[in-house]
Chain A
């Protein structure tokens, strides 16, 4: 059996990529409940970072802090060296629960962000059409979200976020409800967008196989109050195979690292 020797990443100064997101001494508490405890790390520009951890460890809270949805208790988060600002920074966010706009049909849901950004109409149309094909929603353009299954509805939200070509894409367990085939297909799609657009991606997941498949680097959080247990750099060649011995070794290693049961 292949065993994995962790290459713990503690010093990132060796990398020449500029830092996209800088997290310093991030602490978040809800009243007495300390969720995130003094967390510091960087996400480099163009990097795909996966964040894993036990259930309830504060992964979603972390993303919410990043966007400013949840105020920090202390510490700071800088995007492009300034405080995160949803108006200035081009941030895309895919939530765990499908978050479509109920009164808009599928086509208008996907076009929503592009219209807000006041893109010229021909550009809006071409981007929407391209995304509809990518996520397989062509047949459903005239449906309302309530007429769709959970998987289809989530694809509407994905298409809407992908369409704006965000330079920071935050994904909170987006593929939980999908079958494996579709998940791998959409994971490849995230990777493709990341490569083509140079997008920086922070991807939260419970699924360790998904993390090993996607990530340039995995951040393993501990039980609440969460700190960083370990950082695992993954330099397996792509496309990765879930049944390759090296892949399985890393997967088993990360599974052990988050184990609380």
Chain B
């Protein structure tokens, strides 16, 4: 456990005593600056798992550790990017990105400088004063990324951030996320139901099975970046993981 920045031990989550647990006995360690993908079909409990890591959900049994400290709630060392953006509609792009810094007590000028830096990094320069409702889905999620990065977390937890985007926009966003990550390495835990996305992004992929949610297989992805979606090695790995995935009917 010493080598891991974030880890969990025998994590179990139940919501109803009468039903099987949503997650059962998950043990996992995440290396510093690793890009880890949690992959699973619908309803397998991957969002619940991410919420546990974020401290938004407390486990029924077992525990989550940030380095040696037990996680008992959200913390600024762990930033979250949500599937449905969760932007404040009454705040501009700049206001949204700077929001977390304000609650950390950062001065106004410094907030502005940091927020502008990340807005530029995600390619939204010129939209600082736009409101979320005037932005496309891809642009909203860029704001979500900039906001998560701006507060300086060591770990970024991303819950299907590109799930609501159309396929072509998703490809573009996957590329941009990797460019951002290369520029400013962080530990990323990325939840998705998309096998192609998992193989494209991850250093390592954890495949979960459903009811109860458990780790089914684990794969290190050694294909160098930039990866091609139609390279034979890529497709073979996709096929291999797909064969192990449960049909979530």
Contact = CB atoms under 8 A, between A and B. Distances in A.
B232 A149 contact: no
Interface string A123-136: 00000000000011
Given A136-B249, A151-B42, A181-B242, A55 B166 contact: yes
A248 B166 CA distance: 20
A213 B33 CA distance: 37
B42 A178 contact: yes
B164 A181 contact: no
Contacts of A261: 168, 172
B249 A176 contact: no
Interface string A147-181: 00101100000000000000000000100111111
Contact of B164 (A177, A178, A208, A243): A177
Contacts of A258: 168
Contacts of A152: 42
The bracket for how many chain A residues form the interface is: 20 to 34
Interface in B133-184: 163-164, 166-169, 172
A178 B230 contact: no
A243 B168 contact: no
B249 A185 contact: yes
A176 B230 contact: no
B92 interface: no
Contacts of B164: 177
A54 interface: yes
A208 B167 contact: yes
A136 B40 CA distance: 18
Interface in A246-261: 248, 251-252, 258, 261
Interface in B208-249: 230, 232, 235-236, 238-239, 242, 245-249
| Residue from B40, B169, B247 whose CB has the most chain A CB atoms within 10 Å | B247
A176 B194 contact: no
A151 to B, nearest CB: 5
B41 A179 contact: yes
A179 B168 contact: no
A55 B168 contact: yes
Nearest to B192: A179
A182 B195 CA distance: 12
Interface string B63-86: 000000000000000000000000
Given A207-B167, A208-B167, A251-B230, A179 B235 contact: no
A182 B43 CA distance: 12
B247 A206 contact: no
A242 interface: yes
A89 B246 CA distance: 38
B96 interface: no
Contacts of A248: 230, 235
B196 interface: yes
B43 A149 contact: yes
A180 B43 CA distance: 14
Given A181-B242, A182-B248, A176 B166 contact: yes
B178 to A, nearest CB: 16
Contacts of B194: 179-180
B12 interface: no
Interface string A229-250: 0000000000000110000100
Contacts of B43: 149
A179 B249 contact: no
Contact of A181 (B41, B167, B168, B232): B41
16 contacts: A55-B166, A136-B249, A149-B43, A152-B42, A173-B166, A176-B167, A178-B193, A179-B193, A181-B195, A182-B247, A185-B249, A205-B167, A206-B169, A207-B167, A242-B238, A252-B230
